[in-house]
Chain A
């Protein structure tokens, strides 16, 4: 086969390939489906259990450490020990001032930056075998108790949607956000 004959053939192949490629990369002009179902604010409220540091979304209700002790003894002590000392599960109390030492002790009292996280976590995940079972008053009360045994609030301090976010945790300023990511 001569060179002069091969060139047009090769050219045709290129054209054909380009045409095919053009066809292949053209997506069909179809909008993505919109299959979500509108949901009412009331329904959203039944699902929305996350509580940010502002306290937005905290429910009505209240509790003190005195009442919280009863909740704690019934629902928490078996795993978290007397006065939150821990064992068999995590300690909830102690370690304040230890974080920069050779033996840091990280508990709700020493490490957690926000009291709202305590309410959020107890309500969503505890007691471990029966989460979402405590009343709002019980969650406020047991939160008050954990804060009290850590020496962060007074025994008669009432935790509510207003007062809980105002609790200043000892390690409130102990975190450095790594987002947006640092250069490493």
Chain B
């Protein structure tokens, strides 16, 4: 079966053939350690087993006694990790199978870099198959010199490398449903990923074209069949915007905009227009479909906020999380991700009692702005019911809001910019459920 076609998966990501109820501890440990094979081998050794022992009684697994596989040109994960795939969200089903989103299985990942193959995707009309020899980027409008750039020329510019998250502004849409859905954390909150991006500062191309003073916005347009387009303030374009060509060291994946995408650090994911084919400098915003009918935030009085670019301060506990089971009381590391579109994460607090008390978690990666931060907290589960929550604060002093507080500010059909606190309830039986507090 093709890895990418595995749209259905069981809640913990185990293979469908495994009998229910036999997983609990092993899967949780395997996911925590990320080394399923080693964990199983360790269990076997400590139990005094001697699998495949030779005449002298020496230990050694079957794979230690046969010659290993040959080299491959492009590496793949272990076959034991095949269940770790993106969660697909296809609102139009087979009518438009490439429209919707693929969410990162954050419940199965560690650290702060998302593997390129598991990066979240928001596509409006599928992934185009672009020949870089034919692709051009046109820069025109209120510029002194309208220019086209071939990929050959863009690859010759001086590059900048930075680590940034990309979050779809529709992330955590499922956490706005009236009743909490029991899905893995990534299927609810996984429209967020983080990569190392390399590309040309957009400012450099704008200077080459001679941006005129009356230019206040840039219309950015993709070469997908939706010609997805957004209006970008010139301030951002001249600040930290990248014309990105590489992701995690290799050229962009098609799903991430091959051969060239815009990258607007910390802003709504769809403003980082993929398959970038055109930038037009304008006086005002163009008011495209995806900045009027969508990606706007309706208020209770009927009006709506438009051009809310920056993604809010946010965090989510990846483990333990919804649909997992804690097999027995004892030690667990609470591990999750935090980020802010405004800059650095200053603090992540964790509560194990539904917000009654909070403890500071240890952070990794907090020196980077607009980048995922990993937070961790050791936790001794006593076997009593518990509610796990995390609350992030960024360097601007903004604090992740409670869910009720956030949704009270918007119309009942709000869909975007849900950065509210996530709550996972651990039952006395060890089951972990998505709950609203």
Q: How far is the CB of A170 from chain B (nearest CB, A)?
A: 11
- The prevalent SS among residues of A at the interface is loop
Check if A177 sits within 8 Å of B293, measured CB to CB: no
Cα(A121)–Cα(B221), bound, Å: 12
Please give me the residue from chain A that is nearest to B284 by CB atom.
A52
Partner of B229, one of A124, A176, A181: A124
Q: How far is the CB of A26 from chain B (nearest CB, A)?
A: 16
Q: How far is the CB of B212 from chain A (nearest CB, A)?
A: 15
Check if A120 sits within 8 Å of B289, measured CB to CB: yes
- Tally chain A residues at the interface, Cβ within 8 Å: 50
Asked whether A39 is an interface residue with its Cβ less than 8 Å from the other chain, the reply is yes
Residues of B within 8 A of A48 (CB): 140, 278, 280
Check if B208 sits within 8 Å of A36, measured CB to CB: yes
Cα(A134)–Cα(B278), bound, Å: 21
**Chain B interface residue bracket vs A:** 35 or more
Chain B stretch 145-182: residues in CB contact (< 8 A) with chain A: 145-150, 153-154, 156-158
Asked whether A82 is an interface residue with its Cβ less than 8 Å from the other chain, the reply is no
Cα(A54)–Cα(B233), bound, Å: 18
Residues of B within 8 A of A176 (CB): 299, 303-306
Check if B153 sits within 8 Å of A35, measured CB to CB: yes
Residues of B within 8 A of A121 (CB): 288-289
Q: How far is the CB of B273 from chain A (nearest CB, A)?
A: 12
Check if B298 sits within 8 Å of A117, measured CB to CB: no
Query: Known contacts A89-B95, A117-B292, A121-B288: does B229 contact A174 (CB below 8 Å)?
Result: no
Check if A100 sits within 8 Å of B157, measured CB to CB: no
Cα(A121)–Cα(B227), bound, Å: 9
Partner of A35, one of B149, B227, B293: B149
Asked whether B28 is an interface residue with its Cβ less than 8 Å from the other chain, the reply is no
Per-residue CB contact flags for chain A residues 54-96 toward chain B (1 = under 8 Å, else 0) read 0000000000000000000000000100000000110000000
Asked whether B308 is an interface residue with its Cβ less than 8 Å from the other chain, the reply is yes
Check if A104 sits within 8 Å of B298, measured CB to CB: yes
Check if A50 sits within 8 Å of B153, measured CB to CB: no
Cα(A131)–Cα(B225), bound, Å: 6
Query: Known contacts A44-B140, A111-B293: does B148 contact A37 (CB below 8 Å)?
Result: yes
Check if A100 sits within 8 Å of B287, measured CB to CB: no
Cα(A102)–Cα(B153), bound, Å: 53
Asked whether A49 is an interface residue with its Cβ less than 8 Å from the other chain, the reply is yes
Query: Known contacts A33-B156, A35-B153, A113-B292: does B302 contact A104 (CB below 8 Å)?
Result: yes
Query: Known contacts A99-B302, A179-B309: does B289 contact A128 (CB below 8 Å)?
Result: no
Check if B411 sits within 8 Å of A104, measured CB to CB: yes
Cα(A113)–Cα(B411), bound, Å: 18
Residues of A within 8 A of B125 (CB): 125, 128, 131
Partner of A32, one of B157, B277, B287, B296: B157
Q: Can you give 19 A-B contacts (C-beta < 8 A)?
A: A32-B157, A34-B208, A36-B147, A50-B280, A50-B288, A88-B95, A89-B92, A108-B293, A111-B293, A112-B289, A113-B287, A113-B292, A120-B288, A131-B227, A176-B299, A176-B304, A176-B305, A176-B306, A179-B233
Which residues of B approach A to under 8 Å, CB–CB? 92-93, 95-96, 99, 124-125, 138-140, 145-150, 153-154, 156-158, 204-205, 207-209, 219, 221, 225-227, 229, 233, 277-278, 280, 282, 284-289, 292-293, 296-310, 312, 398, 411-413
